[in-house]
Structure formats: C-alpha cells, structure tokens
Homo-oligomer: A and B are copies of this chain.
Amino acid sequence: MTDRIYNFSAGPAVLPLPVLEEVQRDLIALPGVGMSVMEISHRSAPFEAIINAAEANIRTLAGVPDNYKVLFLQGGATTQFSMVPMNLLTEGRTADYIMTGSWATKALKEAKRVGATRETGSTADTGYNRIPTDAELSFTEDAAYVHMTSNNTIEGTEWHQLPQVPDGVPLVSDASSDIFSGPIDVAKHGLIYAGAQKNLGPSGVTLVIIREDLLARSSKSLHTMLNYSVHAENGSLYNTPPAFGVYVLGLVIKWALAQGGLDGIAALNERKGGKLYAELDRTGYWRPTAQKDSRSLMNVTFRLATEDLEKKFIKEATAAGFDGLKGHRDVGGMRASIYNAFPEAGIDALVAFMQEFERVNG
C-alpha cells in the first residue's frame, strides 16, 4: 500500500519507518488524550510530558552534562547563524570561523553583521574537499568563540575529531547534518545547534544545546525570540513551540536509543558508509570528491567522467527508485545522503545498481 522508495535526500530526509508508523497511528487522537498532538495546548500536561521526555532522552542519548540547557527553537540553522553571534559575540571580542564550505560561509556572513570576525583554517583553495588539520588552525587569543561546521552537506566532508581550541574559548558547532550519527563529546562544546531535518525529525524545529554559563552573555536588549537566555528560562515555552516537530523528534530520539544509542548508530553508519565508499573506490570508474581522511558518513559525494554520464546515472537511478541522488546545485555531480534512518538495504541496492551501470556504461 505505502510503496516507499529509497530516499537519498539531503534534507528534509528519510525518517525511521517505526516512527512514521507511530505518528500515523496516533495522529487523530493521542492515546488517553482524545486530541491530535497538533491540537493540544503547549501548556497542557500531555505536551509537557512530550517535551520533557524528548529532552530527557536527548540527555541520555548524548550524555549531555547537567550544566547544559537543551532548547527546541524555530527558524533552522540559518537563524542560529544570527543568534550565535547576537548572543555570544560580545563587545570588543572576535569570533573565529573555520571555513569548510557553503554553510560555514553563510554562518560567517551573519556574524559579520554583529561584530568582529576572523576566518581560520579555510580549505577554499581545494574547493572545500577536506577538513583542515590542527596545524592549519590559528585562533584569536581570547576569541568570543570558535565556530565550526561538523559535517559539510554540500561538499561531503566531516570532522572526525574536534579541533583543538584554546582553553576557555567555547567551541560552537553547527551539527545540523551529522548530529547523533555517532558519539559526541558535548562537554568539549560551548554550544551545539542543529536543524532537525536530517537526523532528528521534520523541518521546523532546531535543537540547541548550550552551556549554562554562556547564557550570561545574552544581553537584555536582544529581541525576545532571539535571546537564548529567555528560551532557557522558559524551557523552550516562551511562546508556542513547533509542537508536532518536537513530538516527532522525541520519537526519533527514542528510536535512536533503541538502536543501541550513539555507539550502535555509529557502527551502523560506518558499515553503510563503508560499503558505499568501497564501491566508489573499487575500480576508479566513480570519482569520490572528498579527501579520504575527510569523508562524510552522512553525505557521500561523487562524480563521473562527464556531466552527460552523470545526468544519465541520475535519471536511470531515479527511475529505478533511488531518489535524491543529484548533487547540490552549487557543485553538481551526485550526492547520496545516508543519514541515521537510511536503511542499509538501500545501500546494498544502490551498490548493485551502480555496478550494473558501470558494466553497461563503463
């Protein structure tokens, strides 16, 4: 009946089927509540239970220390590009941005509206096909914060260890596209933010994890909805939250816990990514774009010898039920986004399809 296809979309992206099934089952009336989750007051006991469970499960899943707040906001990572400097880039200080691709560039653009910034460790010279080494990073002394993009959705690169930032300088990470794809050392961060629509749930909810002492930087002159401190004081309920999104996100986190937590998920992602990269490396027919040591396990980017061949591959793959393989319009080529919820069977099917494509068109 439902006839689902293999969804390689970069985001919004595939969700776990058991989560969708639960959402569907309870869509019209939550058990014991008699209303849809979309219809209940955000100040009601049933919704309080939903948002509190989502937060508690995130804390369990990622081992979030007690001195961090977990916030559910709106506006996507793009709004965080502004809120981070508005709240954390205080007068007279400089924010350091590690330049690893399109999203880091967009983040920096908004920070420049707020105050002094500095680029460090840019890999623009090689088309952002790699993550900079620690030797390439030089930080501003007493920087307001260092901003990184943990996974670069468009360029297909990912940090495999955190940069060594100076003691006392908060590391801020845009983890939108690889959050909870494996263990994360929250305590090494000052702030982590992520749009939900890759590994967490539907678009329209943004997760922010912030170390409590940083809330003191939020000026009272900030607009209310742009002030982390207000959201933290009000448990993300200063105004009506994106309630349905928080509900689905909560179910996704529960699903992640049931996969063996972040260790279990990491093992699955390594197996999935390993199979696909092995195929890309097998004969030289396929041309993976990211440097080997910087490869993303979430967004696997690759090319073929000619754009015509790429078009043919994408067209035939789409027809065969592999959707969303076209690369981002800024870079072209192909991209297989294989987030946590992407099924391993889809990787096996794609690899078989690629082998056949190579046999016919090689």
Contact = CB atoms under 8 A, between A and B. Distances in A.
B20 A36 contact: yes
A242 B17 contact: no
A137 interface: no
Contact of A29 (B4, B76, B113, B197): B4
Interface stretch (A162-170, A217-225, A278-286, A352-360): A217-225
B82 A226 contact: yes
Contacts of A63: none
A126 interface: no
Given A11-B240, A35-B7, A74-B76, A223 B41 contact: no
Interface string A22-35: 01100111000011
Interface string A1-29: 01111010111111101001101100111
Contacts of A38: 12, 15, 20, 201-203, 248
Contact of A35 (B5, B23, B221): B5
A186 interface: no
Number of this chain's copies in the assembly equals 2
Contacts of A2: 28-29
A241 interface: yes
A244 B20 CA distance: 13
A310 B304 CA distance: 72
Contacts of A245: 204, 242, 244
B243 A203 contact: yes
A28 B39 contact: no
Interface of A: 2-5, 7, 9-15, 17, 20-21, 23-24, 27-29, 34-36, 38-42, 44, 74-79, 81-82, 86, 109-110, 113, 195, 197, 201-205, 221, 223-226, 238-245, 248, 321, 323-324
